[in-house]
Amino acid sequence: MSLEVVNRVPELRAAVSRARASGLRIGLVPTMGALHAGHGALLDRARAECGCVVVSIFVNPLQFNRKDDYERYARTLPADLAFCRERGADLVFTPELEEIYPREQRVYVDAPSLSEHLCGMHRPGHFRCVATVVMKLFNMVQPDCAYFGEKDAQQLAIIQAMVADLNIPIEIVPVPTVRESDGLAISSRNVRLDHEQRQSATALHRALCAAAASIASGGGVADAREAACKILKDEPSLQVEYLEIVDPESMRPVDEIRGSVRIAGAVWAGETRLIDNLLQRSAQ
C-alpha cells in the first residue's frame, strides 16, 4: 500500500478531499512521533473502521512545560513513516513548526475545570495547549473520527468535552492502554529509563492494581490510596507526583466511590515522568 506524506495544510486538505470524494470515512490518529505499539493500537483500530487513515506527526512545543523536555523528545521520522506504512496508514501529515503556528498564537481552547487536578495541577497550561493543537488538527483534517489512547485519560476527557461542548462533528474513539508483559504502560519516554529505573517503573501499575483490588473488594478511597501508596513506598527510587482516585468524566478527586472511578498516578523515575491509570467499578 502506498503512503502519501505531506507537510503543508493545502496538500493535506487536498488529499483528504480526494478520499472523501471517493466515499471514504476519514480517521485521524494525532501523534508526536516516536511511534510504538500503543500508537499501533490506535492505527489498527482506525484501519479497521476507516477507509482513509491519516496520521499527524508533530511535536508541539507549546505543551511542554520544560524546554529541555521538548528538546529531548525523540524525533524518529524515518522510522515513524516506516511504522505507518507497515500499519496501513494512507496519509501522514508532518508539518514544520511554522505550518502549525504561522504567527504567535492568540486564541486558545481551555477546559479549566477538567485541567485543575492530576497532570494539570503539575503542568500549568499544558492541556490548554494540547486542546488548542488538537483543535487545529481537527480543523485541518476535518476527520469523521479521531483516535486517542486511554493512557492519557485526562487528555482524552478534555478532548471529549471539547468536541461535545463546541459541537464539533467528530467521533472520539478511546483505545485501551497497551502494556509491556510486566504491566508497564508503553510510552515513548520509556526508552529514557536505565535498567534499574525500568524495573522500578513497574511499581506504578502494581500500585494502581492494588488500589483497584481494594475498590473491587469494597474498600473506600482511603483504603485504595493506602494500598497503592504502600507499593510505591517500597520503590524509593520513584518520586510520586500524585496518586488520586477521580471521577472519570470530571477528573476531580472523589470522596466516595460510587459506580466507576479512575485511579490515576504519575511518578518520576530519575528525569523521566511516567503516567498511568485504571478504570475500576465499585463493589456495590
**Residues with active-site annotation:** 39
Q: Is 283 exposed, middle or buried (0-12, 13-18, 19+ CB in 10 A)?
A: exposed
Map grid coordinates 484501519 to a residue: 47
Distance CA 7, CA 133 (A): 16
CB atoms within 10 A of CB 71: 11
Grid cell for residue 86: 507497515
Distance CA 266, CA 269 (A): 10
Q: Which helix (H) or strand (E) holds 17?
A: helix 9-21
Name residue 133's amino acid. V
171 and 145 Cβ atoms separated by less than 8 Å: yes
Q: Is 67 exposed, middle or buried (0-12, 13-18, 19+ CB in 10 A)?
A: exposed
For residue 87, the 8-state DSSP code is T
Distance CA 274, CA 232 (A): 13
